[in-house]
Amino acid sequence: MKIGIVTCAEYPFLTEQEKPLLALFRNEGIEAIPLVWNDASIDWTSFDCLMLRSIWDYHVQIDQFFAWLAMLEENNIKTLNSMAVVNWNRHKFYLQELERKGVNIIPSVFVERTSQFSLDEVIHKGWEQAVIKPAVSANAHLTESFTLDNLTHTEAKFKPLVTTRDFLVQSFMPEIQTMGEVSLIFFDKAYSHAVLKTPAKGDFRVQADHGGSTVAYQPSESIIETGRKILSLIDYDLLYARIDGVVRKNQFYLMELELIEPELFFHLSEGSHQRFVQAALRFLRQLN
């Protein structure tokens, strides 16, 4: 069997933490090859399956990325996670569906593209601080925090952007700066490990590109169980899932459910590469 592990041009041979996957798959008799998603020279139909991994530039090439996904779908090329999962998860309004199913999400306002953009609802909800971000995005792209004091400025800045894309406005959770953001990582819906991501002093963005740092973390069993319950509401099979959220008074608030290309922090959990590959083998056997 030949599979492609899909990455981006910045990491054409995979990230350092994912390179060990290649040898582990080889030991199982599977040829795994790194592939840059927007490399026009690749014959995607020559692979039995594609694993979407470090495609971390798609958010700045959205139209091209969606066209690439459509091409895969038209050619019936199998992906993990599946194309159905990718299409469901690529737009953050999926949080509305999860909230309706009882998931405790960070309080959010869902802003569909409009020429009449207003942040008045933030005032009505009584939020003193909020975060605005695109519904299709990654790595905190076009994500900003604002307070009531600079609400008018933020509204004017984002008004032209909201005419072309959907946005979310979420209540700012101060716990992100005092404790950090918890990421629960599951393989085949079984808990693997967790990390704690903290922003640089004075910031709220936890990504390394913005000065954030990440360490291994041991969440409480109740938090892990919350993660299991969230995934039990997803009708799709999931090779991998990362559940990002904030803990307030021992309660987990879902920020995002990452099912397309999340960093899985293999380097912070011994044995996680092996757990991932064993889960992947179960999925790959089902393709035959």
Task: Tell me if 187 is assigned to some domain.
Answer: yes
CATH number at residue 35: 3.40.50
Instruction: Answer yes or no: do 112 and 38 share one domain.
Output: no
Backbone angles phi, psi at 254, to 5 degrees: -70, 125
pLDDT score at 209: 67
Tokens representing 99 are 């909230």
pLDDT score at 205: 65
Nearest to 187 by CA among 266, 92, 95, 87: 266
How far apart CA 97 and CA 178 sit, in angstroms, is: 29
Instruction: Answer yes or no: do 30 and 47 share one domain.
Output: yes
Tokens representing 16 are 């350092």
CATH number at residue 154: 3.30.1490
Residue identified by tokens 């592990």 is: 5
Instruction: Answer yes or no: do 180 and 159 share one domain.
Output: no
Task: Tell me if 192 is assigned to some domain.
Answer: yes
pLDDT score at 194: 98
Residue range of the domain that includes 63: 2-89+276-285
Residue identified by tokens 């091209």 is: 64
**In whole angstroms, how far apart are CA 80 and each of 5, 118, 140, 282?**
10, 38, 24, 12
Element (H, E) at 60: none
102: left (phi over 0), alpha (psi -120 to 50) or beta: left
Instruction: Answer yes or no: do 164 and 210 share one domain.
Output: no
Number of domains in the chain: 3
Nearest to 25 by CA among 80, 90, 101: 80
Task: Tell me if 48 is assigned to some domain.
Answer: yes
pLDDT score at 139: 64
Last residue of a domain, one of 142, 171, 200: 171
pLDDT score at 199: 83
> Looking at residue 199, what DSSP letter applies?
P
The three-state (H, E, C) secondary structure of 231-246, written as one string: HHCCCCCCCEEEEEEE
Nearest to 264 by CA among 102, 137, 80, 136: 80
143: left (phi over 0), alpha (psi -120 to 50) or beta: beta
pLDDT score at 143: 85
Instruction: Answer yes or no: do 40 and 71 share one domain.
Output: yes
**In whole angstroms, how far apart are CA 109 and each of 13, 118, 128, 182?**
39, 11, 14, 22
Amino acid (1-letter code) at residue 187: F
Strand partners, 131: 145, 170
pLDDT score at 164: 92
Task: Tell me if 269 is assigned to some domain.
Answer: no
Strands 2-7 vs 49-52: parallel, antiparallel or unpaired? parallel
pLDDT score at 242: 98
Last residue of a domain, one of 171, 191, 207: 171
Instruction: Answer yes or no: do 85 and 112 share one domain.
Output: no
CATH number at residue 220: 3.30.470.20
Q: What is the pLDDT along the chain (288 residues), one digit of tens a residue?
A: 999 999 999 999 999 999 999 999 999 999 999 999 999 999 999 999 999 999 999 888 989 999 999 999 999 999 999 999 999 999 999 999 999 999 999 999 999 999 989 998 888 898 989 999 999 876 667 888 898 888 999 999 999 999 999 999 999 999 988 889 999 999 999 999 999 998 877 677 667 666 678 999 999 999 999 999 999 999 999 999 999 999 999 899 999 999 999 999 999 999 999 999 999 999 999 986
